Amino acid sequence: MQSAVVNMSLFSIIFIALFAASASALACNNLTLTVEISARQSRFQKFPIQTNIDTQAFAQDFTRRGHNYSAELFQGWQQLSGAYKISARYCRPFKGHSSAVQLLTHGIGFDKSYAISCTELMYTA
């Protein structure tokens, strides 16, 4: 039992040392990217929902087999344009592997803190 505890402690120390070494192998800077977008999207008439019965009617109309409820509500096209700021992190190794860089942005299910080591280029969600 004592041997297992010693082995686990040794494993923990080695893991922490390796993680600290890989984390210190990166030079990262936070930055903000401005992205300008323009997209055409559908415009639909508003469906007034005032009661639970209205919600049920909408769901039934929208999911009815052979019925295109979207076409009934469609009113034309509209243009969506704007400039949006995206938070990002740029990481490069301190020495060696100078061809490897990471540009990390925020996405679905993860954020820009998923950099581990440029030598391994591994990611965690």
Q: What is the pLDDT of residues 70-122, one digit of tens each?
A: 899 999 999 999 999 888 887 777 666 566 666 677 666 666 666 554 445 54
Does the residue 8 lie in any domain?
yes
pLDDT of residue 13: 54
Check residue 10 and give its pLDDT: 54
pLDDT attached to residue 111: 66
Which residues, at least 6 apart from 7, have a Cβ–Cβ distance to it below 8 Å? none
What per-residue confidence (pLDDT) applies to 25?
Answer: 60
Domain membership of residue 121 (yes or no) is: no
Task: Please check the confidence at residue 21 and state whether its pLDDT lies above 70.
Answer: no
Total number of domains constituting the chain: 1
- 17 pLDDT above the threshold of 60: no
The reply to whether 30 falls in a domain is: yes
Written as six digits, the tokens of 63 are 């999911």
- Kindly state whether residue 28 falls inside one of the protein's structural domains: yes
Beta carbons of 93 and 25 less than 8 angstroms apart: yes
Q: Is 90 inside a domain boundary?
A: yes
pLDDT tens profile 52-65: 999 999 999 889 99
In a domain, 123, yes or no: no
**Structural domain containing residue 45:** 2-105
pTM, 2 dp: 0.43
